[in-house]
A and B are shown apart, each in its own frame.
Chain A
Amino acid sequence: MGVEIPKTSYSGAIRQISFGSANKVTMGGANSFPFHVFEGEMPNPPRIAMEVYDHPPEDWPEAALAPFKDVVDDPVKWAGKCIEEYGAEIICLQLKGLDPNGKDDPVEDAVATASRVAEAVEVPLIVWGCGNDEKDAEALKAICEACEGRGLMVGPVTENNYSRVGAAAIAYQHVVAAMTPIDINLAKQLNILLGNLGVPDDRIVIDPNSAALGYGIEYTYSVMERIRMAALLQEDERLAFPIICNMAREVWKVKEVGIPQQEDPKLGDPEERGIMMEAMTASLLLNAGADLLIMRHPEAIKRTRKLISDMMG
């Protein structure tokens, strides 16, 4: 005789979302909790995008910089290295230079960078703004137009700029990443607004605002679990979208990631520590429901891929 393990009866499923052009990627589609493949389907295992930046990073720990030292001054070369050497299947271009509190790049520069990368690589491309709603609205709008036909994912789209970016995404057929600050109701609200604006349901992904291990990941973790439960158990169709986590930039600014070994020998080798902080952040986010992770270190990515394949069985 065996024990009867209670199964969860799911009534909803996550939408499948594709983006890219010549080379497309599909995410989502799960009809059970993450990696609960014993009672449901996960037709598209979670994906990993590798990030490249518009300018050479100034504040990265050595461990994160080392793999890209020879390419950091050119996002096209950087993306090329990610694809050829590290097998990246998606690239995320982070336009940090747009930030008015930082380099304050003119929008035209960002558009030029995005267009160059979009032309140079064949894999699906995510274009991410600087987090300033106004500047991002202008830049992402222009990028949507310039990259028509490329099937981008653009983000972060917020409640303050969704109508401008959303309209451009509709017109030029890109996917939007709707970002809200770690709150299930706000996430739902923004998805409703995007829907009302006319963004088709197969072109929205949720960015719950990822935190890193040690810096509030528990909030992201629980909000993601709740979003998944609402979508799968209560058929809340305004939450039944894939989830994207722009996580690497959070991980590598964690205080303990940057501490040299001499300063605190108990923390171990800084390279291995940083890689592990990134991979473990990924591991927790994956188990909370992430469909797409934006990651940085090639070794952290390699380990995360292996973990995903092990969890899929």
Chain B
Amino acid sequence: MALSGIEIFKMLPRTNCGDCGVPTCLAFAMNLAGGKAELAACPHVSEEAKEKLVDMAAPPMRTVAIGTGEREVKIGGETVLFRHEKRFENPSAIAVLISDTMDQGEVDERLKKLEELTYDRVGVTLRADMVALRADSGDASKFKALVEHVTEKSEVALLLCAADAGVLEAGASVCAERKPLLYAATAENVDEVAELALKHKCPVAAKGKNLDETAELAKKLTAAGLKDIVLDSGVRSMHEALRDQVGIRRAALVAKIKELGYPTIVIPSEMTDDPAHEALMASVFMAKYASILVLSDLEPAHLFPLLVGRLNIYTDPQRPLATTEGIYPLGNPDESSPVMVTSNFSLTYFVLSGEIENSRVPSWLLVKDTEGLSVLTAWAGGKFSGDLIGLFVKKCGIAEKVNHRKLIIPGYLAPESGALEDELPDWQIIIGPREAANVPAFLKRWPFE
């Protein structure tokens, strides 16, 4: 939350000594508020004021990083309850469970799935993000061996789960530099786990029996000097977990309750034994505020829909996804296949390309950059006019790919056909349907002799 210059000024020494490089405390405060100065530049500010300022300037929900390098996962940092208000910041990280009671074949199979199950959609790569290594054996050396094995084989961000601080330590000691999330500090072990997290500089989860106890634990962890905290409200029924996820988000953002101003973890795999039901629950918590979701396994037919849903929900509502400008061959078109042009609003592209594929008429789809706007909006804004489309058709190179000169334009662009004919004298401009749903019937009439 941004502080105003005046709020900051009140906490400065107000001596106007100039040591910070500007002549007055007020000027310095203004610079601070505008992000043009660092608090450290003032040597005279009291420790108390410093702490207060840092505290006041802290965002209502902390962003926590787990893992390192390319596979680092950032969670939290959310600023709204509803995505239309502002973009959801960090998509729920999806973790797959690996237990230290699984045989090595099973462990490696899961790691392999984690690496292989990636999907490309609108230029974005979708995949699961983490592994949750769980100490079910109760044997510290077994857990340690699993952690060693996984860290050797994979760069992925880790979640270490053990109820016993000693077992957790055995795991943490061999992968601390990878910044695993330690799961979890509970009422029984909070002091030891806090110490462990401090020693290894790792993020840590607080898991109470309910929201109150979880908040208490988070408070203790903060008092111990820890900042990177993740909350598990401890409940394991769907409606209670939903209540707590909404509660934590509201507590953080609306009531600014510090001990709940952290990302959350939800474990649908501990709520049901049915993998399909688990995946469905995960889809709810993906939209309703879980920062980490732990799944019992990675079933491709469940993972793909979940990742696509996550992509949708975490899309910036102010900046819709855009498709890259270019020529899209749909269904192996050849030199006699129809050519259609449309905008690069990704939804337009999706729906239209889907309908073209449904038609089973192989086609060339020209996607013109309209700054992510739909056909009508782009046209109304002057970004999809006949001359611009003409220029694009000339430079995109479609003329070399087809032996005909027929260009199908969206029905809504009918008023532009004259301008297009002027710009593209060799081409016959054909006015297509207004709605994508009518494209299959329309394409059946190709080549419009």
Alpha-carbon distance between A246 and B260 when the two chains are bound, in angstroms: 38
**Which residues of A are found within 8 Å of B399, using beta-carbon distances?**
none
Convert B423-446 into 0s and 1s, putting 1 for each residue whose CB lies closer than 8 angstroms to a CB of A. Answer: 000000000010001100110000
Q: Is the CB of B281 within 8 A of A276?
A: no
Please count how many residues in chain A sit with their CB below 8 Å of the partner chain's CB atoms: 56
Asked if B238 CB lies within 8 Å of chain A CBs, one says yes
Q: Is the CB of A213 within 8 A of B250?
A: no
Alpha-carbon distance between A4 and B251 when the two chains are bound, in angstroms: 8
Asked if A307 CB lies within 8 Å of chain B CBs, one says yes
Q: Is the CB of B276 within 8 A of A276?
A: yes
**Which residues of A are found within 8 Å of B442, using beta-carbon distances?**
101
Asked if A272 CB lies within 8 Å of chain B CBs, one says yes
Q: Is the CB of A214 within 8 A of B280?
A: no
**Which residues of A are found within 8 Å of B118, using beta-carbon distances?**
266
Convert B274-312 into 0s and 1s, putting 1 for each residue whose CB lies closer than 8 angstroms to a CB of A. Answer: 001101110110011000000000011111111011011
Within 8 Å by CB of B441, from A102, A216, A310, lies A102
Within 8 Å by CB of A313, from B237, B311, B354, lies B237
Q: Given A213-B312, A283-B284, A311-B238, are A277 and B305 neighbors across the interface (CB < 8 Å)?
A: yes
Q: Given A213-B308, A268-B300, A280-B305, are A255 and B353 neighbors across the interface (CB < 8 Å)?
A: yes
Q: Is the CB of A307 within 8 A of B215?
A: no
- Report how many A-B pairs have Cβ atoms within 8 Å: 167
Asked if A3 CB lies within 8 Å of chain B CBs, one says yes
Asked if A226 CB lies within 8 Å of chain B CBs, one says yes
**Which residues of B are found within 8 Å of A255, using beta-carbon distances?**
350, 353-354, 357
Asked if B247 CB lies within 8 Å of chain A CBs, one says yes
**Which residues of B are found within 8 Å of A131, using beta-carbon distances?**
437
Asked if A17 CB lies within 8 Å of chain B CBs, one says no
Within 8 Å by CB of A214, from B121, B260, B441, lies B121
Nearest to A304 among chain B residues (CB) is B280
Asked if A254 CB lies within 8 Å of chain B CBs, one says yes
Nearest CB of chain A from residue B377's CB, rounded to whole Å:
12
Alpha-carbon distance between A225 and B82 when the two chains are bound, in angstroms: 8
**Which residues of B are found within 8 Å of A229, using beta-carbon distances?**
82
Q: Is the CB of A303 within 8 A of B280?
A: yes
**Which residues of B are found within 8 Å of A267, using beta-carbon distances?**
119, 300-301, 304
**Which residues of A are found within 8 Å of B315, using beta-carbon distances?**
218
Asked if A83 CB lies within 8 Å of chain B CBs, one says no
Asked if B229 CB lies within 8 Å of chain A CBs, one says no
**Which residues of A are found within 8 Å of B117, using beta-carbon distances?**
266
Q: Given A222-B317, A306-B277, are A6 and B305 neighbors across the interface (CB < 8 Å)?
A: no
Alpha-carbon distance between A131 and B441 when the two chains are bound, in angstroms: 15
B residues apposed to A, CB below 8 Å: 82-84, 116-119, 121, 211-212, 215, 237-240, 242-243, 246-247, 250-251, 254-255, 257, 259-260, 276-277, 279-281, 283-284, 287-288, 299-306, 308-309, 311-313, 315, 317, 347, 350-351, 353-354, 357-358, 433, 437-438, 441-442
Ranked 7 nearest A-B pairs via Cβ: A268-B301, A268-B300, A313-B239, A272-B301, A310-B238, A273-B301, A5-B247
Would you list 27 pairs from A and B whose C-beta atoms are within 8 A, ordered by A residue? A3-B215, A3-B259, A5-B247, A5-B251, A36-B246, A101-B442, A213-B305, A214-B309, A219-B347, A221-B83, A221-B312, A255-B354, A266-B118, A266-B300, A267-B300, A268-B301, A268-B302, A270-B301, A273-B300, A276-B302, A280-B305, A284-B309, A303-B280, A306-B277, A307-B280, A310-B237, A311-B238
